[in-house]
Each structure stands twice: as C-alpha cells, then as structure tokens.
Structure 1
Amino acid sequence: MYNCECCNYSTEKKCNYNRHLNSKKHIKKINLCNKCPLCDYVSHRKENLKRHLKSGVHKELLTNLAFLQKNEMDDKIIGNLKNEKNDNINENLKKILLEQENLKKMIPKSSGNTIINNKLSINVFLNTQCKDAMSIQDFLNQLQFSLDDLTYTKNNGYVEGISNMFVKELENLDPKERPIHCSDKKRLQFYVKTPNKWEKDDDNTNINKAIGNVQKKQIELMYLWDKQNPGWENNDKLIMERLQIAKSVYGGVSNIERNKENKQIKKIISEKIDLDINIITN
C-alpha cells in the first residue's frame, strides 16, 4: 500500500502513486505541508522536512534571525536614547513658552473655538484630576507577564499580543491613575504622564518606546519558555511552536512592516483610553 499523508491519498499500485506525486494537486499541497516556515526549503517528503528542521543549518538560521532582530530593536532603542540626550533643552523651552504665549493671545479672540477649549480642558483635567497618575516609566517597570501572555501572542500575532498586554494592565487601573490618555483617536494623539508632569506625546515618541519595552518583555518570556522546554531543539513539535512564537513576538522585519503594526497597536490602545470630552468639560 502506497500512502501520501499530506493529501490523505492511498493506492495499491505504484504507478498510480507515482502519477499522484506528479499531479498539480499534490505538488501544490505538498508545498504547504512540507515547507519550512523560516526559509525557502521545500521537500516532497515529510521525513526530509523533519531532518531539515533538526539540521545545524536550520538551527543556526533560527539563532541568527533572533539575534539580528533583537540587535535591530536594541539599536533602535539606543539610537532613540542618544537622540534624547542630544536634544537642545533651550529650544524645547522656547517652544513651550511660545505655545503658551500663542494660547494667551488666542483665548480672548476665540472664546467659542471648540478646539482650543477642548485642549485647555484636557490640560486642566489631566493636571488636576489626574495629577497623581502613575508615570509611564513606573507603569512599564511594574508590568508582570506570564507564559500565558506569550501563548496568546503566538496564537494571535504581534499586534494583538502587544495590545492585549497593554490594555489589560491599563484596564486594571482607575482611569485617573492611568499614565496614558488619548485625546484624538483619529490622529492618534496621546498625553503621557512623565515623572513630573503630563505631556502631549508629539510624534508618539513615548508610546513607541513603551511598545518596544513591552516587546522586550515578551522576548524575555521566550527565554523562560526555552528553560521550561529543555531539549526543544530536538523535538519537531516544539521546534515548530518555537518558530511561531519567534515570528509573533518579533513582528515585521522591515521598518515599514513594524511601523504599520505599531500604528495598529496604537489604534487598539486609543479605543481603551479615549478621553471623553463631555465628562471633562462638565
């Protein structure tokens, strides 16, 4: 009896089996069944794929991919930190003073201007009602995640995984204690609590850093998974699971993919921390 496990096909005749192996249906399906999810390796035999997944070449590729992606993320974070240190403090101060002066000039002339009133109301609300909110740094430092969170990311992907970790922790806090609020969901405009004050998060700088911080915590969970699954490198099922975890945790490889995914994360977060102007102004 000749069997094709991938197509669930059986025959007693070798000629029929050979004909099946050359059929378009089999070739199309075998590419899906016996294709390595990490590289372009494809085999007509399941045994060959198993051998490939255990090979030194594949394991080295897996290790290098994780190393490169981790370095890329670390380099980006380090670059952001360097840029912060190189910011001109005097220029920032001038910008703040100029903005305040412009607001003073506009208020008497635009008493009916909803946009200005809303902006002022948000600032007043945050600095009075939310003055004791946790800072974004303290919020990120106290985040605690488990392997259940890693499993959720594996099953649902990078965007849903990161969003879930953010949202569930924010929802555990009273709205006035949260370190992040969204004032405009359409434009993804956030306000973030720093150690000393509330700040408008121009260009989503703080939110993007926070997303990177949560991703790093997921990478740490990957190493915990490795410890709790000793010898996974020699187990076909665990190898495939580890690959899926890595793909979900690291997300898109290119900057374009990652920016798109991070924008989706911010949209999900904004829905949960949207400031209700009607409540603020009453």
Structure 2
Amino acid sequence: MTAKHHETTLDYKNTTKKVPKGSASYCCDNCQRIYKHHSSLWKHKKTCGQSTELTLASLDNLSDKDIIMKLINENQEFKSIIMDQSKTLHELASKVGTNGNNNNNNINSNNKTFNLNVFLNETCKDAMNISDFVSSIKMDLDDLETTARIGYAGGISGIFSHNLKDMDTRMRPIHCADLKREILYIKENGVWERDSTLLIKAIKAIALENIRQINEWKKLYPDCTDSDSRKNDLYLKIVSNSMCGIDKEETDKNLAKIVSNVAKQVVIEKN
C-alpha cells in the first residue's frame, strides 16, 4: 500500500464517529449507515471502505475541473438511463392499454355480430310452429321398439332428433340460445317465445302418438300378451317404456333428459 493510499485509508477510518446516546451507537460517515455495535460497523467498513478507497484513488490524479466534469457526465448518463427506462415503461403501458382496448373492441364487436332478435324474427321468420312440427312427424313401429329397448327418454329424444336434423335451420321451430342454461326459443302461433313448457307439451304429444302405435304392433304379434310368446318380453318393455314414468319424480327426470337432448340438437351457431 502506498503512502498516499495509506493516508487516504486512514482518513476514511477516522471518519467513524459515535452518535449520541439514545440512538444507535456507531455511524459510518461515508454512507451514513448507523450500527449499534462497533463490530457490525467494522464488518461494514470492509466493503464500504474498499469502495471509498477505489473512488478516492481514482480521483487522486484528477484536477478539480476534471472531477466536476466527471460528476456532471455521470449524472447525465444516470439521467439518460432513467429517462430511457421511463420511456420503455411508458411504451409498455401504452401497448398493454392498446391490447386491452383491442380485446374489448373484439368482444364488443363479436357481441354485435350476432343479434338474437334478428336471427329469430328475420332469418327464421318462416320457421314452423311447434304444433305443426309435431303434426308433421311420421312415426313407425321401429320407433316404438326402439323406445322399448333404450327407454322413454332415449326413444322420444331419438324421434325429435331424427326429424330435426334434416330440417333447414331456418325452418326449425326450436332454437337453443344458451346450452349451459338450456335457454330455448320455441315458435308457436307465429311468435318466438322463451318458454320450455311449449317443448314439454310437444314431447307429451309425440309420446302419445307413439303409445297409439301399440295396438298396431299387437296386430302384428297377436300372441305377444301370452307369457310363453317370444314377443312377450318385448311387449312388456314397449308398454313400460312408452310411459313417461311411474311417478312424478321419474316423469320430471325423463322430461328433463329429453329437453336437454333436444337443446343439444338445436344450438344456434353464432359465428
């Protein structure tokens, strides 16, 4: 260590001072940090002192003018860095804001692209009434036997599905606007109504027509009521599964299943 370096270090070490009682005991004059114990300050000075020694050593050969210019330049560089960071943050904030606005515009735009009233009253203005749709359904004995095999809900749902899938969307008497909540719009008397009870009535009407086929089926298999007949088991299933349910709970459950199945068939494509 040079004499000059030693002198500088000594000057730094002599800057340590004890602060008044009632507060922390030791203070570093270089960085103004305060410590309660001398040992803590001593450890601190190892790094703080090195930094100071280097700074003082680097300034030793500079004139006052050079030192001032160096400080000014460093300050300008620091200001430039802060300004650049501020500019970058501002640009990022603007970009995030723009993206948010674009997303909102897209959402709003998407909401505006589909208008339910326009779809129902203009696009589907020539749709059938639900009662006319039910009257147009032609059932056969296969529908009766299918209901016997898979149950009331599955059989009646199948009859609806078969007759709806081949229809032009604009002619359908039923549309589902929200599958999750099963929001259904049904046309009757030339008016679109959000009324699922109209669908329940249609379900019961179709189920009744299916039951009426039982006598026709029995004519084909007159011995079906005989317990020894090969058709007896099928006959019993036909009679049992053609009914909506043995009590209100089972009836409501079956009707709910059919409504759900029909809703899936007629979900409105909003794209």
Instruction: Please classify the TM superposition score into its range, dividing by the shorter chain length.
Output: 0.5 to 0.7
- Which of the pair has the greater relative contact order for Cα pairs under 8 Å at 6+ separation? 1
Aligned positions, number: 164
Q: Counterparts of 1:130-209 in structure 2 under 5 Å?
A: 130-201=124-195, 204-209=196-201
Gaps of 5+ in 1: 1-110
Residue 253 of structure 1 corresponds to 246
Instruction: Choose from 119, 122, 131 the match for 1:128.
Output: 122
For 2:197 and 2:106, the matched residues in 1 are separated by 32
Residue 53 of structure 1 corresponds to none
Gaps of 5+ in 2: 1-104
For 2:194 and 2:156, the matched residues in 1 are separated by 22
For 2:149 and 2:226, the matched residues in 1 are separated by 22
After TM superposition, where is structure 1 displaced by more than 3 Å over at least 4 residues in a row?
Answer: 111-114
Q: Give 3-state SS (helix, strand or coil) of 2:181's partner.
A: coil
* CA RMSD in angstroms, aligned pairs only: 2.2
| Matched AA of 1:221 | Q
Q: TM-score, normalised by structure 2?
A: 0.56
Instruction: Choose from 202, 206, 213 the match for 1:214.
Output: 206
Residue 230 of structure 1 corresponds to 222
Q: TM-score, normalised by structure 1?
A: 0.54
Q: Give 3-state SS (helix, strand or coil) of 2:186's partner.
A: strand
| Matched AA of 2:200 | N
Residue 255 of structure 2 corresponds to 262
For 1:270 and 1:277, the matched residues in 2 are separated by 15
Q: Give 3-state SS (helix, strand or coil) of 1:247's partner.
A: helix
For 2:193 and 2:154, the matched residues in 1 are separated by 27
Residue 272 of structure 1 corresponds to 265
Q: CA deviation at 1:152?
A: 1.1
Residue 232 of structure 2 corresponds to 239
Q: CA deviation at 1:239?
A: 2.3
| Matched AA of 1:154 | A
Encode CA deviations 1:69-97: one digit per residue, 9 max, x unaligned.
Answer: xxxxxxxxxxxxxxxxxxxxxxxxxxxxx
